[in-house]
Amino acid sequence: MGRIIVLDQNMINMIAAGEVIERPASVVKELMENSIDAGAAKITVSIEDGGRKLISVADNGCGMDAEDLAYAFESHATSKIRTSSDLRTISTLGFRGEALASIASVAQVKAVSRVKDSTAANCIEIDCGNKGTVSPCSADYGTTVQIRDLFYKLPARRKFLKTANTEMDHITEHFIRIALANDDLDMTLIHNGRELYRLPSKEGLRRRIAELFSSEIAENLIETEGSEKKLHISALLGRPDISKTSNKFQYIFLNGRFIRDKFISHAIKEAYRGVLEADRFPVVFLFIQIPCEDYDVNVHPTKIEVRFYNANLVHSQILGCLREKLLAVNLDVDAKLPKAAASASLSQRQKISEAMADFFKRHRPIQAQQQLGFHKISADSNRTYQTPSEALRAPAIERTEKDATSDMDYTLDAHKFLQIHDSFIVAQVDDGFVIIDQHALHERIMYEDLCRRIQRGKLESQKLLIPESFELSPAQADAIEANSELIEKLGIELVPFGPKTAAIQAFPTLLAKAAPLDFVQDLMDLLVDKAAMLDGERLLEEVLSLAACKAAIKAGQRLSDNEIEHLLADKETIERASRCPHGRPTTIKFSLSEMEKQFKRT
Ligand SMILES: Nc1ncnc2c1ncn2[C@@H]1O[C@H](COP(=O)(O)OP(=O)(O)OP(=O)(O)O)[C@@H](O)[C@H]1O
Ligand SMILES: [Mg+2]
């Protein structure tokens, strides 16, 4: 009896602060969000000692009069919602009326504010929940909130703060998120008197990204936009060659609010499938606008998660918009030539020049090369070359569908090419040259061809003269049975051949270059490992990608001019030619202008 008491308001606020105010960065986020909600055009954030000593956020927003200033630090005090129906249409970043009260319960706070049409400012001080009175003072219009000695009465919380640099990293991350979502704002971040970021308004998002991250990232972003069914998407999509090892560089904004959302992250991953290796994460800046009543932001104390009422629609529209763009653009990798060619040593420069000069010396029209017997297949060679018709089932792509999907933004010169190390093809394009990985490109060509053909029905197959038999494990036998339809579609005929044994009787014509037994073994491994986890479409993609890899010409395989011509012609007609089905690049481009720069011609 008598053990239960109702906590006083200050205690309630301190507990609430535990939810919202985890560290200095949370304070910075809440104060900056208030400035944005107040319509500020300029925000200056000054930090001392990683936020432990001081956090100050100054804005030129609408400001508060004396009465509002006194209320602002009360819990559940907000100007942003009034009735329960407002909760369904929240268009401001804040609405809980808790941030300032929570912050003021765990630190020393001073706030100064002046509304635009008033000549006088007011200020208030609160020390860990003990509120002083509002008094007049002089200040410019807008609001400045200063937080000193965060958690000073909570040694346990203070102890958990990390070094100033680590806390500053967290603060910077929040600053970056807000800066990306509000590129029309003038924003500054200062630490211990040193300006870390000074971001003028109206310089554009790309410029801002260059300042916040790097010009390499800013220069390698593809812009896209889409609007459908009340959902507007605008995005800057990182090219695959600036991908990262984590999803830290995926910035998703919903109506100006940074959010994390597993559906959207999944849509992004799916959009890049086949464009990027499976273990890499793209750099993405994604801005979504949807009506406020189509999602609920009141599901997480820091509002970093929201609940979409129609998450499937959001997922499919984002996936569609991003994927369409990624398929349409040329994703060839731009060669990274040494930046400091000017300061390179003489011998380095000589080496580059020699390599380039050598390339151009040998880079003659194809007729001349043929007269010289240039990389022609010689009968007396002890290599086992494939004939053109074998290696490249020419033409792999049916020309009737030509041109519809090419993503190349340059023209290949059909006659100026050269195979090097029996693995790469160097070819001239209108504004430079490209180096193509012959296996990767042919793999993509085979893959696209296989996809197209299998959409129309079963792949054409041919009977093997002598059926190839092999042993089956029980798991493999099960996988064959469970996927019999898929195996049949591929044009593979498997028949039982005694206990625990099966035989391959027919094999797809298109995969003539793959050894049937080898391919079927790999196919069974894939089915055993993945069939249960993947849906039908994904499984088919994996299977076709395996088939393409097995059937494609290999590195180390010498090609005839005719074969190379076919490869180059196919490159111009297929989708996603700049990436192999696993997402690795097929082509690296060297631009003429970059070469001229390197050779000091400009
Ligand atoms: N920089 C500012 N300029 C003008 N008014 C402000 C500013 N900061 C706070 N306010 C006022 O003080 C109120 C309380 O702010 P507080 O951050 O505690 O709550 P909120 O923003 O309404 O909701 P939330 O707790 O979700 O942030 C706001 O609703 C707003 O009216
Ligand atoms: Mg707020």
- Partnered with residue 228 across adjacent β-strands are 231
Query: Which single residue is written with the structure tokens 């011509």?
Result: 565
Q: What's the 202 CA to ligand 2 centre distance in angstroms?
A: 25
Going 408 to 409 to 414 to 416, the CA torsion angle's sign is negative
Instruction: Establish how many alpha carbons lie within 13 A of residue 381's alpha carbon, considering only the half-sphere containing its beta carbon.
Output: 11
List all residues 6 or more positions away from 122 whose beta carbon is below 8 Å from its beta carbon. 64, 65, 66, 69, 112, 113, 114, 134, 135, 136, 137
How far apart are alpha carbons 268 and 315 in whole angstroms?
9
Q: From the CA of 92, how far away is ligand 2's center (Å)?
A: 9
586 touches 440 (CB < 8 A): yes
197: exposed, middle or buried (Cβ count in 10 Å: 0-12, 13-18, 19+): middle
For residue 98, the CA-to-ligand 1 centroid distance in Å is: 8
Cα angle 307, 310, 312 (rounded to 5 degrees) comes to: 105
pLDDT at 366 over 70: no
Task: Measure the CA angle with vertex 542, ends 443 and 419; round to 5°.
Answer: 10
Q: What is the mean pLDDT of residues 88-116?
A: 94
As a whole number of angstroms, the distance between CA 124 and CA 360 comes to 75
Judged by DSSP in three states, 344 sits in: coil
Q: Report whether pLDDT(347) > 80.
A: no
For residue 394, the model assigns a pLDDT of 33
The string of pLDDT tens digits covering residues 127-141 is 999 999 999 999 999
pLDDT value for 344: 44
pLDDT at residue 565, rounded to an integer: 92
The C-alpha atoms of residue 446 and residue 451 are separated, in whole angstroms, by: 9
Q: Residues with beta carbon < 5 A to ion ligand 2?
A: 34, 94, 99
Residue 593's pLDDT is 87
Ligand with smallest separation from the Cα of 101: 1
**What pLDDT was estimated at residue 354?**
54
Residue 406 has a pLDDT of 58
- Candidate from 27, 35, 36, 37 with most ligand 1 atoms within 8 A of CB, to mutate: 37
pLDDT at 537: 83
DSSP class of 87: G
Rounded to the nearest integer, the mean pLDDT of the chain is 86
223: part of which helix (H) or strand (E)? strand 221-228
- pLDDT tens-digit series, residues 301-313: 889 999 999 999 9
Closest C-alpha among 323, 259, 262 to residue 288: 259
Q: Is the pLDDT of residue 395 over 60?
A: no
pLDDT tens-digit series, residues 251-263: 999 999 999 999 9
Ligand located closest to 56 CA: 1
| Nearest ligand for residue 73 CA | 1
Ligand 1: atom nearest CA of 92 is: 21
With a pLDDT cut of 70, the percent of the chain lying above it is 88
Q: Which long-range contacts (CB under 8 A, 24 or more apart) does 423-428 make?
A: 423/555, 423/556, 423/557, 425/559, 425/564, 425/567, 425/568, 426/359, 426/363, 427/568, 428/363
- 486-504 burial by CB neighbour count: b if 16+ within 10 A, else e? bbebbbbbbeebeeeebbb
Using a 6 Å CB cutoff, which residues line ligand 1?
30, 34-35, 37-38, 59, 61-64, 72, 77-80, 94-101, 143
Angstrom distance (rounded) from CA 450 to CA 254: 39
The predicted pLDDT at position 263 comes to 94
CB proximity list for 120: less than 8 A, separation 6 or greater = 114, 136, 137, 138
* DSSP states of 12-43: HHHHHHHHH-SSHHHHHHHHHHHHHHTT-SEE
Q: Which residue type does 230 have?
A: K
| Distance from the alpha carbon of residue 141 to the mean position of ligand 2, in angstroms | 19
Q: What is the Cα 522 distance to its own chain's centre? A: 31
User: What single string gives the DSSP state of each residue in 537-579?
Assistant: HHHHHHHHHHHHHHHSPPTT----HHHHHHHHHHHTTSTTTTB
Ligand nearest to the CA of 36: 1
* Nearest-angstrom CA–CA distance, 562 and 386: 12
Residue 378 has pLDDT above 60, yes or no: no
What are the tens digits of pLDDT across the range 175-219?
999 999 999 999 999 999 999 999 999 899 999 999 999 998 999
Coil/strand/helix, residue 298:
coil
CB 281 within 8 A of CB 247: yes
Lowest-confidence range among 280-289, 290-299, 324-333?
A: 324-333
The model's confidence at residue 529, banded by pLDDT at 50, 70 and 90, is confident
Ligand 2: centre distance to CA 356 (Å): 60
pLDDT of residue 499: 76
- Residue 413: which H helix or E strand, with range? strand 412-420
Cα 82 to ligand 2 centre (Å): 15
Q: What angle do CA 439, 444, 448 make, to 5 degrees?
A: 150
Look-up: residue for tokens 């894939």?
Answer: 526
Q: How high is the pLDDT of residue 301?
A: 85
- pLDDT greater than 50 at residue 523: yes
As a whole-number percent, the residues of the chain with pLDDT over 90 amount to 57
Whole-number pLDDT of residue 287? 98
Residue nearest to atom 1 of ligand 1 (CA): 35
Nearest to 521 by CA among 480, 460, 467: 480
Name which of 172, 146, 179 is nearest 54 in CA terms: 146
Three-state secondary-structure class, residue 150: coil
Q: Who's near 299: CB < 8 A, 6+ residues apart?
A: 305, 306, 307
How do residues 469-508 score in pLDDT, each as one tens digit?
888 888 888 888 889 999 999 999 998 887 788 999 999 9
Which parts of 36-163 are beta strand (E)? 42-48, 54-59, 108-114, 121-127, 130-131, 135-137, 142-148
3-state secondary structure of 283: coil
- Give the count of alpha carbons within 13 A of 369, CB side only: 18
204 touches 183 (CB < 8 A): yes
pLDDT band (50, 70, 90) for residue 85: confident
Q: For residue 451, which of 408, 396, 498 has the smallest C-alpha distance?
A: 396
Q: Nearest C-alpha to atom 17 of ligand 1 is from which residue?
A: 99
Q: What is the pLDDT of residue 338?
A: 66
User: What's the pLDDT score for residue 1?
Assistant: 66
Q: How far is the CA of 99 from the centre of ligand 1 (A)?
A: 7
Report the distance separating Cα 143 and Cα 118, nearest Å: 13
Residues forming beta bridges with residue 327, ordered by sequence position: none
| Tens of pLDDT, residues 218-253 | 999 999 999 998 999 999 999 998 999 899 999 999
Task: Specify the pLDDT at position 356.
Answer: 45
Each residue's pLDDT tens digit, 403-435: 445 566 778 877 889 999 999 999 999 889 999
Query: Of the candidates 328, 326, 323, 317, which has an alpha carbon nearest to the alpha carbon of residue 227?
Result: 317
Do 549 and 511 form a contact (C-beta atoms < 8 A)?
A: no
Residue 380 above 80 pLDDT?
Answer: no
Query: Quick one: three-class SS letters along 468-502?
Result: EEEECCHHHHHHHHHCHHHHHHCCCEEEECCCCEE
SS (H, E, C) 151-219: CCCCHHHHHCCCCHHHHHHHHHHHHHHHHHHCCCCEEEEEECCEEEEEECCCCCHHHHHHHHCCHHHHH
C-alpha angle 327-329-330 in degrees, rounded to nearest 5: 110
Q: Does position 39 have pLDDT exceeding 90, yes or no?
A: yes
